[in-house]
Amino acid sequence: MKPTPTQLLLCCLFIFLQSNTTVSQVTKDTLSIFQLKSEADTLFKSREFKKAARIYADAGKRYTSVHLWRRAAQCYNTEATCYTNTNEYDKMYAPLQKGLKILEANVEGPTYEEGRGYDLLSYYYELKFGDLEKSEAYLKKAISVFQQLPDEEMALAKAINNMIYLSNVQGQYTKAIRYAEKVLRSVKEKGTDYDDLKSMVYTNVANSHFRLGSYEAAGDYHKKALSMNRKIHGENHLTVANDYMNLGLLAKSMFTYKESITYLNKAEAIAKPILGNKHPFLANVYTNIAAVYHELNQPILGLEYAEKALSIWQGIHGKDHFAANTLLKDLSLLHYELGNIDLAIEYALRALKVCIATVGEDDEKSASAYDYLGTFHSSEGSFDVAKDYLLKALEIYGKKYPEGHRRLSGVHEGLAENYQNMGNDSLALVHWYKSLEINSKLFLQGNPKRVTDLLSIGDFYMTKNQIGNAHRLYNKALKELQNSSNGDTHANNKMYLKVYKKSATCYLETYKRDKNRKALKKSLALFRNADSIVGQMRGDISAFKDKISFSEQIQELYQDAIAANLLDNRKGESLLNTFYFAEKSKSNILKELLNDDKKVFAGLPNEILEVEHELKVKQAFYSSKMANATNNDRFMEQGEKVSNTFKDKLFYTNRAYDSLITTIASDYPNYFKFKYDTDILSVPQIQQRLNSNTSLLEYVVLESVAYVFVITKNGFQVKELIIKDLGQSIGAFNEAIALKNIGTYKRMGHELYSVLLAPIARELRGNELIIVPDGLLWNVNFELLLTGDIDSKDPKVLPYLLKDYAVSYANSATLLFGDTYQKERYRSECLAFSFSDSIGAATTDPIRLSAFRDIGGDLPGTRKEIRAISEIVDGEYFYGSQAVESNFKAKAGQYAILHLALHGEVDHEHPENSKLYFTNTKDTLEDNFLYSHELFALNLPADLAVLSACNTGTGKIASGEGVMSLGNAFQYAGTKSLLLSSWEVSDRVAPGIMKSFYRNLKKGMRKSEALQQAKLCYLQTADINRANPFYWGSFYVLGDNAPIDLGAPDYFLFGLIFLMVLIAIGGFLYQKSKASR
């Protein structure tokens, strides 16, 4: 039956009403979902990512239910983005797959969200698994999608920028730069909407240039990114913090460590309020700060920041997450270098546990931990345990790199040393040759690793007294170097130095065994070759820490050279050669820095000085980077390309430097003489500078024997001294002084005199001694030694060397008598400072010393000292609120005498951090600690610096450089002589001795005599309870001993005035007598 028209009308009306109800419901549902998504968007912007992720997931599900496919995919993609910000990478995959499947099933053609999903999947595979191949494949899909969408230029450019980043991660830096150029060309004419993208590209391409060694270009791009991000976001934004971190990393790589710390601290300061204290970004910042402090030789601070970074990573991922692996290993190495072997082992074990749990026991990361543990256990003598760990590392690396690898050769070296320590010579030799075999395949002829292996095998044969085999290996190493194509001059010199030194020692041992004169002659020639290399290498080293390390390394070379020359029977010539090597072994850094300080006075323009410094820094920098690139573990082929880049840069830098030196030698001969004059004064030259009243004693201390050179006006001798248990004797002597134990003091004082001075007593002339100590002898105050053994315990009557000789000390004869110090004259006055330890120090003004003489009342000890000297010398005095570091730096270069009655603190482990304390004030540009490393940068050409603070003359002894004391730092700044203290001096004693010292100086006495007479005067008048050497024996004079003009009275003027007065009186009396007549 057909429906009637009325029925059809009613049916249509029902359908119409039903559809309107459905549409209305859908619209209502869509609005509620939109509001839900808006809530998630707000949470996302406020960085509440976990809450936002949950709501995006819900919104995506709801959009799917109403068939709004693109919006559903958008929500799922943004949910995944939330997980990237919470570091929950494992949660990213599910929402991304949902979004892509929805689009594939329901939307025709490419869409923005499809491209975005692929982009995020690329990020997922790179972050979660480190799977760079899959990451690149998905990123290419994303780029393909965006290329089909004409309105998505920005999205396309961002995807290509991500490809730049990924190419960097893959080590394909040139490819990354090509992508960057493409993006920058495409957005060049775009508006400010593209500024964010441009800044990201700048950052990524900067990293590409950094990896290729183009550090100037990297710095330019990072600074462009920083400038743009500050313009877009302001200073306090995460992108700006990231830019600062990148600049900090760049500065670290360029060895400008203080600049690096500044940038990294800025990154931390911006990021912490935004991210909180426990974010991975901060962990990265702390990791890099730790690395910089390690380079600055401040391992304690390095440990502190490394621990912070580790705490963050473990807080995010748990203790057993792979992210902690690298930091745990870094911490183990830091503790190892600090000598904390137990802690080093503990951290290495934790690293191993993490590696096994995350990547498995057979991964090379686990092998690295085993290698560390083997090294640490071997260093503490647990050779069996070390062997097991090293063999495990060898097994893993062997499977991973069956054709050989640098890490594999390193484990063979560790096993060789360990087996040698265990006495298993055959296995030691097997592993040495295995290492050599691997390195011969990996590296070209002359590579330091190949040469080092040859030398190590030669050393092994030397320990077994197989001198012939040792000769063979050393000669092979020399041929490797001679045939080397390596353009790194510094690295070559370093290896040549080792080869010459070892070969010379080998020939010396041959002579001792066979009495073969040819062997001795070869040995002496090789020592001279090594010495010439040392001179070249010193100029290549720029960092002070590295200079000290190098001086310590070459001490054994010079000691062996001295021993070899003393075996030569050509008495006259061999003695002069012996003294030459003795002088070459001493205070080279001080001489170099003092020569360098004179550049300003040699007429050299600042522009040339800056170019010279920049080229020297680049030489050291490119040499270091060549070595690092060649040894790159991850991308060996890319490492070789980078190494060649640095090789080219080093070649052209060397050419530029050679050209500059030629110009300087021609146009500025005075500077060239100062800077590059490394001549050692000969014995005849020293004798010309000595007066007939002075003897110079220069010591060279070896393990069980010492040599002392005695130089007088008309004589020169060398004497061998037997020094059994010298360190113990010196320790007992100094302990007896500190404890005021007069009995032990008498015994040790005479014993040391008998060893060090009695054998040469008859050769001494006059009553003045200049002593050039060596090694442990820097810890001896020679004037306190006792020339005889008497029964009395009265300190006043003991036969101190002080009673016979005025003693001064020198770093070397060449420094003392050579043309080293500036001769510019400054005001012949004194600049004095005394310490106040309170922030509430009295507000004061500087005062003339002459005005200070009349101040009465009971003064603090340091001010008593200044008042005592004010009666003799005039000048300017800063105390109270004015005794601050900034005032010292502003004034110190203008005075002939610096007198600092300040407290001092010696850092024996890191001497550059020793410091003097100035008054502690709030309002100052300085921290009021004057560190040794700050003194190095000052110009203080004073005639004399008196540092009466405690312990200013003590510190760590650096082989060849003497005591790394606060006083030593003043020498580096150009001060000619110093009065220092070996221990703290009582405030009751110091003012009296200082007053006598200055009074004697004003009489025209030489400095050592002035101090000698001041001490003897004190001893003669001292109370018996304060006559012990502890009270008065601390001070000593170091450096130039000449008298100082303190404005002594002009007796001619006084005489003339007196004569005029007599004439006037005579005239008056004559006139009076004439009038009376």
Whole-angstrom distance between the N-terminal and C-terminal Cα of the chain? Answer: 182
- Confirm if 397 and 374 have CB atoms less than 8 A apart: no
Question: Which pLDDT tens digit goes with each residue over 132-165?
Answer: 888 889 989 998 998 899 888 888 888 888 888 8
Range with the poorest average pLDDT among 264-273, 280-289, 296-305: 296-305
pLDDT at 731 over 90: yes
- Taking the C-alpha atoms of residue 556 and residue 585, their distance in angstroms, rounded to an integer, is 9
Question: Which pLDDT tens digit goes with each residue over 243-253?
Answer: 999 999 888 87
741 band by pLDDT with thresholds 50, 70 and 90: very high
Instruction: From residue 210, give the alpha-carbon distance in Å to each of 48, 825, 851, 1071.
Output: 35, 48, 61, 98
pLDDT at 363 over 70: yes
Strand partners for 695: 769
- Confirm if 888 and 947 have CB atoms less than 8 A apart: no
pLDDT at 448 over 90: no
Q: State residue 67's pLDDT score.
A: 92
Segment 682-702 shows an average pLDDT of 91
Segment 435-441 shows an average pLDDT of 90
Q: State residue 188's pLDDT score.
A: 76
* CA-based nearest residue to 751, from 720, 776, 784, 778: 784
pLDDT at 863 over 50: yes
Neighbours of 228 (CB within 10 A): 21
Q: For residue 678, count CB atoms less than 10 angstroms from its CB and return exposed for 0-12, middle for 13-18, buried for 19 or more.
A: middle
Instruction: From residue 571, give the alpha-carbon distance in Å to each of 161, 221, 249, 695.
Output: 75, 65, 57, 21
- Confirm if 935 and 955 have CB atoms less than 8 A apart: no
Q: State residue 179's pLDDT score.
A: 83
Q: For residue 751, count CB atoms less than 10 angstroms from its CB and return exposed for 0-12, middle for 13-18, buried for 19 or more.
A: middle
pLDDT at 454 over 90: yes
Segment 932-958 shows an average pLDDT of 75
Segment 263-268 shows an average pLDDT of 93
- What percentage of residues in the chain have a pLDDT greater than 90? 36
Q: State residue 435's pLDDT score.
A: 92
- Taking the C-alpha atoms of residue 756 and residue 722, their distance in angstroms, rounded to an integer, is 9
DSSP class of residue 983 equals S
Residue type, position 767, single letter: N
Q: State residue 1074's pLDDT score.
A: 58
SS3 895: strand
Q: What dihedral do alpha carbons 258, 264, 270, 275 form, nearest 10°? A: -150
Question: Which pLDDT tens digit goes with each residue over 637-690?
Answer: 444 445 556 666 666 676 776 677 667 666 666 555 545 555 788 899 999 999
- 721: phi then psi, degrees, rounded to nearest 5: -120, 135
pLDDT at 627 over 60: no
- Taking the C-alpha atoms of residue 620 and residue 542, their distance in angstroms, rounded to an integer, is 7
Name the H helices within 691-791.
726-738, 742-756
- Confirm if 985 and 1014 have CB atoms less than 8 A apart: no
Residue by residue, DSSP assigns 668-716 as: -HHHHHHHH--PPPPHHHHHHHS-TTEEEEEEEE-SSEEEEEEE-SS-E
Contacts of 879 (CB under 8 A, 6+ apart): 833, 834, 836, 844, 847, 863, 866, 919
pLDDT at 11 over 60: no
Instruction: From residue 4, give the alpha-carbon distance in Å to each of 1, 8, 10, 17.
Output: 9, 6, 10, 20
pLDDT at 600 over 50: no
Q: State residue 41's pLDDT score.
A: 93
Residue by residue, DSSP assigns 774-806 as: -GGGGG--GGGSBSS--S---GGGS-BGGGT-E
Name the H helices within 789-940.
813-817, 849-852, 861-870, 885-891, 932-935
- Confirm if 885 and 928 have CB atoms less than 8 A apart: yes
pTM: predicted TM-score of the whole model, two decimal places? 0.63
pLDDT at 312 over 50: yes
Q: State residue 97's pLDDT score.
A: 94
Range with the poorest average pLDDT among 116-125, 533-542, 717-726: 533-542
Residue type, position 10, single letter: L
634 band by pLDDT with thresholds 50, 70 and 90: very low
- Confirm if 958 and 913 have CB atoms less than 8 A apart: no
SS3 684: helix
Q: State residue 651's pLDDT score.
A: 66
580 band by pLDDT with thresholds 50, 70 and 90: confident
Instruction: From residue 746, give the alpha-carbon distance in Å to each of 23, 729, 733, 1023.
Output: 111, 12, 9, 20
Q: State residue 639's pLDDT score.
A: 46
280 band by pLDDT with thresholds 50, 70 and 90: confident
Contacts of 145 (CB under 8 A, 6+ apart): 110, 111, 114, 115, 118
- Taking the C-alpha atoms of residue 791 and residue 349, their distance in angstroms, rounded to an integer, is 61
* CA-based nearest residue to 436, from 454, 455, 418: 454
Q: What dihedral do alpha carbons 762, 763, 769, 774 form, nearest 10°? A: -110
- Taking the C-alpha atoms of residue 540 and residue 493, their distance in angstroms, rounded to an integer, is 10
1067 band by pLDDT with thresholds 50, 70 and 90: low
- Taking the C-alpha atoms of residue 409 and residue 459, their distance in angstroms, rounded to an integer, is 18
22 band by pLDDT with thresholds 50, 70 and 90: very low
Residue type, position 740, single letter: K
Name the average pLDDT for the chain. 81
- Taking the C-alpha atoms of residue 709 and residue 772, their distance in angstroms, rounded to an integer, is 10
Segment 563-577 shows an average pLDDT of 77
Q: State residue 1051's pLDDT score.
A: 45
Q: Quote the radius of gyration of the chain (alpha carbons, Å).
A: 38
- Taking the C-alpha atoms of residue 522 and residue 467, their distance in angstroms, rounded to an integer, is 15
- Taking the C-alpha atoms of residue 1045 and residue 269, their distance in angstroms, rounded to an integer, is 54
- Taking the C-alpha atoms of residue 287 and residue 272, their distance in angstroms, rounded to an integer, is 15
pLDDT at 301 over 60: yes
Strand partners for 721: 706
- Confirm if 772 and 809 have CB atoms less than 8 A apart: yes
**Paired sense of beta strands 895-901 and 944-947, if any:** parallel
Question: Which pLDDT tens digit goes with each residue over 796-823?
Answer: 999 999 999 999 999 888 888 876 544 5
pLDDT at 860 over 80: no
When comparing pLDDT for 24 and 770, which is higher?
770
Positive or negative torsion for Cα 334, 337, 339, 344:
positive
CA atoms within 13 A of residue 422's CA, in its CB half-sphere: 20
When comparing pLDDT for 1061 and 494, which is higher?
494
- Taking the C-alpha atoms of residue 614 and residue 618, their distance in angstroms, rounded to an integer, is 6
Q: What dihedral do alpha carbons 786, 792, 796, 798 form, nearest 10°? A: -10
Q: State residue 226's pLDDT score.
A: 93
- Domains, the chain: 21-253 (1.25.40.10), 443-585 (1.25.40), 683-807 (no CATH), 826-1041 (3.40.50.1460)
166 band by pLDDT with thresholds 50, 70 and 90: confident
